[in-house]
Structures are given as C-alpha cells and as structure tokens.
Chains A and B, each alone.
Chain A
Amino acid sequence: MKTALIIEDHPDSMVLISRLLEKWGYRTIGAGTGREGIELALQNRADFIILDIQLPDMDGTEVLRSIRAKLGHDTPVIAITSYAMSGDRERLLAAGCDGYIEKPIDPELVLSQIRDVIGEEHEDTDR
C-alpha cells in the first residue's frame, strides 16, 4: 500500500483528497502548513506527495524546492492549484513538479491524473 503525503491547509480539501485516496486504497498522511509538510516529508518517506500551492505560511513552490533539495527527485510531487492560472503549470513544472491537479477536484478524473504521475497502471476506467 502506497503512502501519500497531503499538504493542504483547507480542511475540506484535505478531507476530500484523503478520503478519495483512502477509498482507492492509499494510505494518507496530512499536513496543514508548509513547514509541517516539509517535516513530514522528511520523516515519513511518502511514496508521493500532493501539495497545495496556496499555503498560509509558505509559498508552495518554496515547499517544493525544500523537499526536492532534501529528498531529490525520487518522490513524485503532484501540485494542486486553486484556479489554474495560465502560467501556473509552467511555473510549477519548472519548479520541479511531476504533475498538477486543478481545483475543483473532480473525483471522476483525479485518480487517473494521480496514477499517470506516479506511474501506476490504471485499474479501472471509470469516469
């Protein structure tokens, strides 16, 4: 069972993503701030990280850079943006993201998006 670290300040979003991942059979760890997220990332050796770009204490790209600096490129990081601005995608990919999800999270699509990034076979084709 793979473990996902979810760095997300908004409780509803946190719950939604955690629940969805758990339903699909992943273990989740949650972090409400950027610092906590970096800390947990270093401690727990998550298989992949879901990172909200808008965090109260730090900018998401900062968090990403810290994690990349310490863990290297082994752990895929999937960014979540509140409203995908043109340029966000480029900015995030340039900062070292492996993929990104736009809010609102569509339960019908998000699983396949994550699986694409972390390199898992699609188990189903539900939409």
Chain B
Amino acid sequence: MFWRRGIRYKLAIALWGVAIIAFAAAGLALVLFENLTLERRVGQIMEPYAQLVSVGTEAAVAFEDPGRAQEILNTLRTNPQLSKAEIFLRDGRLLARYSGRSKEASLPPSLKPDGVYLNHNNAELLQSLQDGAHLRLVMSLNELNRQTQEILWKFALGMFVLLVTITLALRAALQKTIIDPISTLVKTVEQVRTRADYSRRVPASGVDEVGRLGQSFNAMMGVIQEREGDLRRLTLFQRTILDNAAYGIISTTTEGIVSSFNRAAEHLLGYPAEEVVGKLTPVCWHDQEEISRRALQLSEELGETVAPGFEVFAVRLRRNLPEENEWTYIRKDGTRMPVLLSVTALQGASGQITGFVGLAYDLTERKQAEARYRALFENAVDGIFQTTPSGRFIDANPALARMLGYTSARELMACVTDIPQQLYAWPEHRAEISHLMEERGVVEAFETRLYRKDGSSIWVSVNGRAVCNGSGAILYWEGITEDITERKKAEEELNRYKTHLETLVQERTVQLEQANVRLQEMDRLKSMFIASTSHELRTPLNAIIGFTGMTLQGLSGELNEEQHDNLARVYRSAKHLLALITDIIDISKIEAGKISIFPEEFPLEELVDEAIAIVTPQLQKKGLSLERELPATLNMYADRKRLFQCLVNLLSNAAKFTEKGRIIVAARENDGSIELSVTDSGIGIAERDLPRLFKPFERLESHLRVRAGGTGLGLYLTAKLVADILRGTISVQSREGEGSTFTLSLPRDLRRVPEPPDLVREGGGTP
C-alpha cells in the first residue's frame, strides 16, 4: 500500500518517522544523562552536610557526647531531603542519630568504604570521622526524581513542539522545491503521452537537480517537437510523392497483401485503393497465365520450384537479385496494357524483409512508339543499320538487305560478318568512316561504293552517328544508307555535259574576246570617225559661213534686197547646221566618255556677262529686258567653257520662248554650291512635257515651235554637260503660259568634289 502512494505521502511518512525517532532518541539521551549524573548531584547535595557534621561533631565524638552529636545532627532538618543521619563510634556503637520521618531501626554500620552509594529510592553517604567513628547520611531520592521527571516533561513538550515545527517547515519546503515541480512534470508527461501534444513545457528554474530535470525535459520536448515536425513533413512529402507520382506505387506485406495503393496506381488500373488494400496480389490485375509462365521460367532459372503466385515477384529479391519485368495489367474494365514493374524489398534494421514495393510504369506509349519506329525501320526506303565499330551488323532493315541484293535482313546479317572486307569496294573508306566516328561522332553524306551479294556494286551515301555510353566510349554505330547509284550516273552524265559546256564556253569566250577586240577597234574607229567628221563636216561649212558672211557684209559689192535675203537664209541655215554638228559631236563624246574637263578659276560675274552679251542682240530684237542678280565677287572653279555653253543655251532658250516681259539671271552661293538660275516670262512648259524636257530631239508641242528654231539637242546637251562635266544638277520649274525657271546647282569648287573613277580630267586634246 505504501509503495503505491504518491511521493508526497512517502515524504510525509519519512519526515514524521524521522521526527519521532529524533524525539525518542532525545528523550532516551536525557534519561540516560540524568541517571549518569545522579551520583554526582547527590554527592554535591550531601557532601557539604557531611562536612558540616564532621566538623561539628569533632568534639562530641572525641568525648563520646551523644547530646552534642544529636544537636549537630538535628541541624540537618533544614534539608527535608535528608532522611537519616547516624554517627557510629569505632566500636560500632551508635553515638547519635537523626531521622527525618520515623523511627527507623538503625542498621549497623556496614563495612563499606567512604563514598556515596545509590539505592533504589535513597542515596547513602559514608564518611570516616576522627577516632574511627563513621558518619552515615541517607538522603531520599524522591525529590530528585520528581525534579528529573519535571525536567523530562518539559523537555518532551519542547522537543515535540520543535520537531513538529521543523517537520512541517521541511514538508512545506520540500513541497515547494521538489514535490510540486515533480508533480507538474508528471502531469505534463501524462498529458504529452495521452494527447501527443509535444508543445507542452514545464516551468523550470533553478540550478538544482529538479530545475535541471525540468530544463532537460523541456529541451527533450523541443527535440521531440522538432523531430515530430520533421516526421510530419516527411510524411507529407511521402504522401505528396505517392499521390502525385507518375508511377503506380503498390506496397505489400511479405506475404503479398496489398498495404498501399497510390493514386497513379488507381488511375492506371481503374481500382480504387480501398477495393484492393488488404487483398493478396497477384489478384485481379495480373494475367494468371503470364504469372504461370513466369513461375516456370523462374523455376528453371533458379533451380527450385516457384509457385505461380506472389513468389514470382519476391523470389529474386529474397536472393538479393533485382526484380524488373514487363507485365500485362488487366484494368478493372478488362482492357489490357503493358507495364514495366519494378519490385523492391523493404528491409528492416537487421536486414530482414518487411515488405515489398512495386513501381508500375505504363508502357503503352513506349510500345506504340516502338511499333511506329519498327514500322519505319521495316518499311523505310533507305537502308538503316546498326553495326559494331569492328564491322558486324547488330541490326539492319529490309531495305538495306534489298539494296545489297539479299532476300532478308536476317540473311544479310548472317552472310556479312566482316563489313569492311565483304561490303566495301574500298575498305579504306570504312577506315575513314571509323576515323570520323571517333573524331566527330558523325558521318554526313559519305559517298562510297558497296558490293552487292551478286558481286555487282552500288554507290551509296552514308549518314551515321556513333552511339556512346555515359563515359563516351563508342557502343555502336547507327545510320542510314541511301542508294545513290542513279544519282551518281546522272552526275557523271552531268559532268560530261558540264565538261562539254565548259569547252563550248571556252570556245565562245575566245570568240567573244575576238569580237570584243574587234568592237574596241570599231569603237576606236568610231571615235576617229567622229573626230574626222568634226573636222571634215565643219571645214566646208566654215567656208560657206565665211564667204556668205563676207558677201552679206557688202565687202564684195552691193547686194539687192532679194540677194541679201537669200544669202541671209543660206547664212542662217549654215549656222544652224554647224550648231547641230557641234552638239552631236559633244554628245557623242560625252556618251563615249571621251570628253575632257578643263577646270579653271574665274569670276562668275564675268562669265555671266559674256553669256548675256551673246544673247543681247536677240533680246534687243524682241524688246525684252534682262535683269541680273549676282553677288559682286564670286569666283568659281569649273570648266568655264562648258558652263558658258550651258548658260548661253539656257539664255537663248529663254530669249527664244519669250515674247514679252523680262529674263532674270540670278546666282547665289550656298554652302559650297552655286545656284545659277535663268527665269523667263515666256510660254512656259506644260506639266505633261516636263519629263521629256531633257531628252534629245524632244521639241515640245508648242504653238511657237515653228518660229523657235534650234537644234533640239540644246537641253539634252546642257543636262549632260551639267551632270558629267560640271558635276551639278539641272532642274526646272514652270507653268504653262507664265514662264519657266531653269536652275543649275553646281559645286563652287570642282576640286572639292570626289572624282568618279571613269572620267578623264586632263589630256586628250583636239579630236
């Protein structure tokens, strides 16, 4: 009963027990002390009286005077404790006697030596007096015993109170420092145990064992809580993996009873987990025939009988062999599917198998892909191969066999055991391919000739790659062989044509070169022709103009009016013809790139004035005014003569097509270029005519054209000169009936204009 009580009770019992024992021990000690000190205390009381009697009775003894002795002895009455006093003489006679209470019979003096003797309830003192007499004092112990008892009672009471107080205080202290913390701890531990609440802590302070116990408990709870968190997370993690795994995961006991079945497995097989957990596998979703076949196969393999049941999955694992196999699963709806099932044993700490886990992977898509690949392989037009680097076939497709004249891929692979020697017309090509595979891992469009079964040969193009393992070592080659015999033939044919064509081209090139030489010669002849034409056509015209002019001036005598008119027409026509020839020569030279540029520095104003002077007679004849708006000093570096020619052309055109009003010549410089414009108030140019303006012989459909005259080459030549010689641009703004403005935009300094490579600037004199 005691041992089952709480620590509080046990401690209380212990404390009280100790208190009682202490109480008893103290009491005993006191009694013992009192007894031990009794003789001394008695001596202390009696010895002064004995001394008093001894001194007082000295004379009475000597004289054997009993009265005197009696007197002395009677003084002892003052102490009621002294019950008897007797004086004996040497011969044993009683000299005197005092008795406090009754007439007690005097006892003969004993022969004991001097000293104090304790009896049951009295104490006896013997002392020798002079002359051999003895004093015997008897004292009652009642008084002393009473005193002793009183002391004992007081002591017991005090002791009791003290012990009770101490015990209660101790209990209270223990309650606070040990019992309460331990009870709390116990309660907490019980709560933790029953509620699995690892967040509980106990109040723990102090450095004593109890404090440390609490602290250790709290620390331990911390660790446990952390572990608990970890465990929870791990479980969640596992749960998540299991729920979301792409593999069907099925775990079983060692006997094959399904213990878990994840979502992927549910999805894979169509069974809900609760329908299969607790059942024995292989139950519903395995093909029993397949299990039997596998059992037979395993029996053969392992040399022991394997029952066609769960053991087919476990037997290999029990022997530490891996277990992975393809199986057919039958879904709940009866459909079948191929799966890859990999089974692993779960092992306990001591290595014993505690269960199995199977991972099932749906092979449907892979099988389909394999089938597709196989179909491609079987039906390809090109040959597909897998070979070892040393030259044996691993696989070949029917197309390759056909290409090489064999009836089947099997025959090809059986017959050809040394690819380099048996197939390659040039075995060194095989060595080259081998080299490429090692160096680059691929071979692209490698063309070579292979022998067929019948000894004939074909041209092929090989595309392949080296298939390597993880560490980069070549496992085998695979690739495609294309029969390019026809293409090769075509190429050869093409080559022949090409060679033929090249010969033809060469011949033709020679012919063309000859023709080109002739053409260059002709071009030179043309230039010479133009040069001589220039001279030859102009010489007679010079004579005509010269003599007609002379005659018209009246230097050869007076002319009548008709003669003057006739000659004037001859003169004008000759001048026109000369202008036309001059323009044609200029144009042909520009077009042939034979014209030379002679740039020089000159004041623009001077050039403009010279040009104005040329057209002044025309203007005066028509009564037109001319204004010039020129900067005072503006020098130009250009081909002066050609610019002059252009300006005269523009001015005479303006004069030609203007009947009344004025002509303005203006120039202004702008950032290294000069804009020179001629504005008239003439007939203008219709918008539709503008595009044709700078083309040769494009005289415009103007009502004035009959009267206008001119070569029809003027603007064409001007535009050419502006572009090729002056390196500027010409533009026109015009409104029919209101007049035109022709603007030349020219570089102020020709030296600052980059040279086009095909133009000669200097040299090349008179043609």
Contacts and interface: CB of A to CB of B under 8 A. Distances in A.
30 contacts: A12-B540, A12-B543, A12-B546, A16-B546, A16-B547, A20-B550, A20-B555, A82-B534, A82-B539, A83-B538, A83-B585, A85-B765, A85-B766, A85-B767, A86-B598, A86-B639, A86-B641, A87-B598, A88-B766, A89-B641, A103-B538, A104-B545, A104-B546, A104-B578, A105-B546, A105-B549, A107-B552, A107-B553, A107-B555, A108-B549
A112 interface: no
Contacts of B578: 104
Looking at B543, B762, B765, B767, the one whose CB has the most chain A CB atoms below 10 A away is B543
B766 A13 contact: no
A54 interface: yes
B511 interface: no
B596 interface: yes
Contacts of B582: 83
B542 A104 contact: yes
Given A91-B765, A106-B545, A107-B546, A126 B538 contact: no
A108 B546 CA distance: 9
Interface string A95-126: 00000000111111000000000000000001
A127 B554 CA distance: 12
B642 interface: yes
Contacts, number: 83
A51 to B, nearest CB: 15
A45 interface: no
Contacts of B546: 12-13, 16, 104-107
A114 B243 CA distance: 121
Interface in B155-181: none
B133 to A, nearest CB: 199
A73 interface: no
Interface of B: 534-535, 538-543, 545-547, 549-550, 552-553, 555, 578, 582, 585, 596-598, 600, 617, 639, 641-642, 762, 765-767
Contacts of B555: 19-20, 23, 107
B550 A13 contact: no
A110 to B, nearest CB: 9
A10 interface: yes
A18 B543 CA distance: 13
Nearest to A91: B765
A61 B22 CA distance: 166
Contacts of A104: 538, 541-542, 545-546, 578
A126 B70 CA distance: 222
B641 A107 contact: no
A90 interface: yes
Given A86-B642, A87-B596, A104-B578, A16 B535 contact: no
A86 B762 CA distance: 10
Contacts of A53: 766
Nearest to B585: A83
A103 B553 contact: no
Contacts of A16: 543, 546-547, 550
Contacts of B542: 12-13, 82, 103-105
Give 9 nearest A-B pairs by CB, closest first.
A12-B543, A107-B549, A104-B545, A16-B546, A104-B542, A86-B641, A87-B598, A86-B598, A107-B550
Interface centre among B541, B617, B641, B767 (most CB of A within 10 A): B641
A107 B639 CA distance: 28
Contact of B765 (A10, A20, A87, A106): A87
A106 B535 contact: no
Nearest to A17: B546
Nearest to B763: A87
Contact of B550 (A19, A81, A84, A87): A19
Nearest to A84: B641
B531 to A, nearest CB: 10
Contacts of B534: 82-83
B765 A126 contact: no
Contacts of A12: 539-540, 542-543, 546-547
A83 B765 CA distance: 11
Given A20-B555, A85-B766, A107-B549, A10 B539 contact: yes
Contacts of A89: 641
Nearest to A106: B549
A83 B545 contact: no
A100 B4 CA distance: 156
A117 to B, nearest CB: 18
A83 B530 CA distance: 13
A52 B436 CA distance: 85
Contacts of B545: 104-106
A10 B552 CA distance: 22
A103 B762 CA distance: 23
Interface string A11-37: 011001001100100000000000000
Contacts of B766: 53-54, 81-83, 85, 88
A82 B766 CA distance: 9
A108 B553 CA distance: 8
A81 B555 CA distance: 24
Nearest to A12: B543
A12 B544 CA distance: 9
B173 to A, nearest CB: 137
Given A82-B766, A87-B598, A106-B545, 20 more contacts: A12-B547, A13-B543, A19-B550, A82-B542, A84-B641, A85-B766, A86-B597, A86-B639, A86-B642, A87-B765, A88-B766, A104-B546, A104-B578, A105-B546, A106-B546, A107-B546, A107-B549, A107-B550, A107-B553, A108-B553
A48 to B, nearest CB: 19
Contacts of B540: 12
Contacts of A108: 549, 553
B220 to A, nearest CB: 117
Nearest to B600: A90
Contacts of A10: 539, 543
A82 B639 contact: no
B537 to A, nearest CB: 10
A54 B233 CA distance: 116
Contacts of B639: 86
A124 B539 CA distance: 29
A93 B326 CA distance: 112
A106 B553 CA distance: 11
B598 A54 contact: no
A54 B543 contact: no
A83 B641 contact: no
Contacts of A82: 534-535, 538-539, 542, 766
A86 B596 contact: yes
Contacts of A126: 553
Contacts of A87: 596, 598, 762, 765
A96 B63 CA distance: 213
A20 to B, nearest CB: 6
B596 A54 contact: no
